[in-house]
Structure 1
């Protein structure tokens, strides 16, 4: 390994990406680099924020593979027959599971009612009440928190168990990932402490037992790298299919686009080039799972939250990939 390049990389990380907690680089399935920053170690667990969305995408794929969900073209209301629509003109009737996965579902709110959301005891019900309105189905509208929890509700209803239990059995355990417990906040202070903690292993849920779909999961950089390698392997892990290759291929190609940012989007995965060779799960603070199929490379970055953190895709493409590209060593 070219130690001079590694030293320069680490100087860049400490100077320009100073909230980094840990980085793991896998090349051809082998760990080529693993390092930790800001007092973190391999035992730390970091809140990965919206990387959680991509984990939900995997779980939805597994549920489809196993027949719990019939099709992503099912209407959202099919899963919630108890919900009554009072406005006959409301677009909610035609919103599908695919719209949730591609961020093309409309919502009634103009400004997200975060306080009401966080103090609600049932995030799925709260999100359902915000779904629809006069917005256009099929138009990209990124919903950071209020909306994705509908996926948790759908997965729990169809599988007959909590998202945490489903993920533990069908994803985390096979990959050797430990997520210890459900986490329920009883105060704003508890939530703020969780966001900055490095020693809590779990997945946030509301009081009704719904795991947050858009945030709330803690993982280590090594855990995140395993998720990336699973996708690079086409869904296979130690000779066992965890999720189908067809789902991976579909979920990591463009289905919608955030035009304002010119960012293509799959099924809760971001695409990093026009040829679908690279894709990423990305969360606040710079948390990232990056997969480059062409270079057989996975980069995972766990980061402590800081507002307006620098984009890690730039760090990966400009500084990390050149170091671990076989031809540059």
Structure 2
């Protein structure tokens, strides 16, 4: 899409009516969020590249960063695509163990040798834990997160079955660092964040590993493990406006102000519908004829892209167990407001 304005330095907000959005319908968002989605701290709705709606709660504002939890995974997916395009990683079918020549797997552990970057991106690598019961706190207490995860990788189950793993995303961060010589944070600042006007992100070293340290509001910058790998599956803090910038970049097929930041082919691959409804670290959805893809994190942190409506919805939230599904809010009160 040709456009003369890009929100690299400043976002422009316009009257929703100009963007063919029903302003009265959008006005319903505020009381609904306050009454039913009380852990939302900030929301930015972008249509055609302009802010149509922006609201903040609990004393937060546009400059405040939030821990976006597993939304971090979708950022990491973009970085892997950029690294492949730059020739720093060969392709998604490269074997994971290629990047860890110093790791010696058990000789009978043949399945581990077959696992590729693609399996980590699509959450189709096997692990010994039960579905959705990954012992993340256990990994965080190790002195070497990578060896711990490589030991787990390939255990139980078969390659190809969907099993969501944050540790697997952390392996991707280590692969990125071994391929580029830079942490995911450094590589992101240089190749992704700065070019589209997102804030530069500092390092953050966790001092302990209690629940608040992992998911609390005191997390800053981008968390790193004891060996200086940026956390691959969580631990990044962004403002809602920067979340929206990232979503807009994807909506525009990786192009920003005539510069191809992420390869268009990578975005197509990352968001193609499949039986797992999960692409390259993006959740996929088709409902009522409307296709969307979303970066989703615990507590209800979301970057939702709806290409056919030219919409991006970025929501930053406080962590809470079992938050209300953001999709209902997006579908009924945002997509439903588009004329």
Query: What is the TM-score when the length of structure 1 is the normalising length?
Result: 0.91
Per the TM alignment, residue 78 of structure 1 is displaced from its structure 2 partner at its CA by: 1.1
Distance 1:133 1:196, change over 3 A: closer
From the superposition, tell whether residues 73 and 256 of structure 1 become closer, same or farther in structure 2 (CA, over 3 Å). farther
- Report 1:1-329 matches (<5 A): 1=16, 3-110=23-130, 112-143=134-165, 145-188=166-209, 192=212, 195-197=215-217, 201-255=220-274, 257=276, 264-273=277-286, 277-323=291-337, 325=338, 327=339
Q: Which stretch of structure 1 is more off in the superposition, 270-279 or 156-165?
A: 270-279
8 Å contact kept, 2:25–2:333? no
58-67 vs 178-187, which moves further: 178-187
Q: What SS does structure 2 have at the residue aligned with 1:140?
A: coil
Cα deviation for residue 38 of structure 1 reads 1.5
Q: Please, which runs of 5 or more residues in structure 1 have no aligned partner?
A: 258-263
Shift of 1:148: 1.4
- Distance, in Å, in 1 between the alignment partners of 2:135 and 2:146 is 14
SS at match of 1:298: strand
Give 1:115 shift: 3.4
Unpaired runs of at least 5, structure 2: 1-15, 17-21
Shift, 1:121, TM fit: 2.6
**Following the alignment from structure 2 to structure 1, what is the Cα–Cα distance between the partners of residues 208 and 213?**
10
Output one character per residue of 1:54-113: Cα deviation in whole Å (capped at 9) or x when no partner.
Answer: 001000000011011111011111111111111414410111110000000001344533
* Count of residues paired in the alignment: 316
CA contact (8 A) 1:278 1:292 kept: yes
Deviation at 1:194, TM superposition (A): 6.8
- 1:239, distance to aligned residue in structure 2 (A): 1.3
